[in-house]
A and B are shown apart, each in its own frame.
Chain A
């Protein structure tokens, strides 16, 4: 197996992009990544596109061919593959590209994530997201996606004494970080009061506990580490690309207060790198809801089980804290175009490790981690990146 490096990154602004289509978003992110890597279209050997639900959002499938076509790659008949694992589609597209390069099948590969969510109304978007759960035995009886995470929040509060304010602080911190990210959907700073006074969506989760509906795309250029310096002076190396599955339904899980697939994927990733958890300088984790970030920092092994809430309130996950979490603003403030999120996380970590993250830079970051969750934990992808 060959080591793989990221030599180029691109990411659109995240938000409600009324004037941009699915293909526009992909092209924008893809061209940025190519320019960053100083790669021409003719050098690209394969394309992996993470996308959750173009079928429901756009009534368009076969988007692998679509993105290859509109980025001008059909001239070389470049193989282009759509990858889907609900909200972990982007992370899985990245891992698919890494495997393609590591195996020696391809040398220059684009891994991208794209989601165009705002062409449908909020109710339709909500129904599309519910497709990440078990349609027949969760959604059909009235479960919504926020409702499933609300049940995890309730169980976590019951078991560990996690508080309403601790949940809210996740959103407060992520909005603060987002205010320093020019790509973020929300750049306004909020307070705990903003969160606890926002409307209930699924008790105990309120509107400001939830990540938004977002349009956006992100892309990275992958090459064998041995060739990285041909493309850039600042390659970022992929030290681990791990993935784990679990039951699609929340009710079939061993635990309702941990996401086991996170623990397993993280264990696999750390085993590959032979690194201790304490070596991670910065992480982008899957905060689709505030409770999800608290569970993630525990399940990844950064904090003991039950210590995630208190650590968040104490500022240990803020930029400048013990382990800065979601400097991009996370899914909550940067936005959550579901299929793009996993790739955006890698773009953010690459910027952090290059020292290019501007006001939200984590000082001296050398090793970073990304954590991308599909559904309520049926799929988890963890990457570890290093300078």
Chain B
């Protein structure tokens, strides 16, 4: 991804900042500016997630695009945050340790890089709690 495209979402990516609809108390990560059930009646506010959740499903990636080739194999999961929303993230652990239902906690980590001279991306990963 280009630098401005990544930079624009740094608060969300670094600090797990999403949104919450104050009208129906639904939490969103990735952030949404329209609450699908409420649409124009929705009242969207920024919300920083606690960072705790549970693994819903997972995989270990062996073949990856260039940005991630240096870290293969790596564990990727869908995590359901305690506030409700689900997101896709890497789990920092050995592939043999991960399982469905495992509790996880968010951590700030390097995500990947665009080759030896390219941009280094940081963001949220999770560790087993």
Contact A144:B61 (CB < 8 A) given known A123-B66, A135-B1: yes
Q: Which of B56, B65, B87 contacts A256 (CB 8 A)?
A: B56
Interface assignment of B121: CB less than 8 Å from any CB of chain A? yes
- Is residue A251 contacting chain B, with contact meaning CB distance below 8 A? yes
Contacts of A141 in B (CB 8 A): 76, 88-90, 111, 123
- Binary per-residue interface labels of chain A (123-159) against chain B in the complex, 1 for a CB within 8 Å, 0 otherwise: 1001100100011111111111011001110110010
Closest Cβ of chain A to B103, distance in Å, is 17
Encode A202-223 as 1/0 by CB contact (under 8 A) with B: 1111000000000000000000
Closest CB of chain A to B77's CB: distance in Å? 7
Name the residue on B nearest A151 (C-beta).
B57
Interface readout for B78-111 with A: 1 if CB under 8 Å, 0 if not? 1000000011111000010000100000000001
Q: Are A142 and B100 in contact (CB under 8 A)?
A: no
Expressed in whole angstroms, the Cα–Cα distance for A205 and B60 within the complex equals 10
Contact A202 B63 (CB under 8 A): yes
Taking a contact as CB atoms under 8 Å apart, the answer to whether A142 and B57 are in contact is no
Contact present for A250 and B78 (CB under 8 Å)? yes
Of B30, B59, B88, the residue contacting A154 (CB under 8 A) is B59
Would you call the interface of chain B mostly helix, strand, loop, or mixed?
strand
Give the size of the chain A interface in residues (CB under 8 angstroms). Answer: 35
| B40 on interface, CB distance cutoff 8 Å | no
Give Cα A138 to B61, complex, Å: 13
Instruction: Check if A151 sits within 8 Å of B86, measured CB to CB.
Output: no
* Known interface pairs A147-B76, A151-B58, A256-B56; A142-B1 also in contact (CB < 8 Å): no
Known A-B contacts: A202-B61, A203-B60. Give 4 more (CB < 8 A): A136-B9, A142-B67, A142-B74, A146-B63
- 9 A-B pairs (CB sep. < 8 Å): A123-B66, A137-B88, A141-B76, A141-B123, A142-B68, A151-B78, A155-B100, A199-B62, A256-B78
Interface residues of A (CB under 8 A from B): 123, 126-127, 130, 134-144, 146-147, 150-152, 154-155, 158, 199-205, 249-252, 256
* Interface residues of B, Cβ cutoff 8 Å to A: 1, 5-6, 9, 30, 56-68, 71, 73-74, 76-78, 86-90, 95, 100, 111-112, 121, 123
Closest 10 CB pairs of A and B: A150-B59, A155-B57, A251-B86, A203-B60, A137-B30, A151-B57, A200-B62, A202-B59, A251-B78, A127-B65
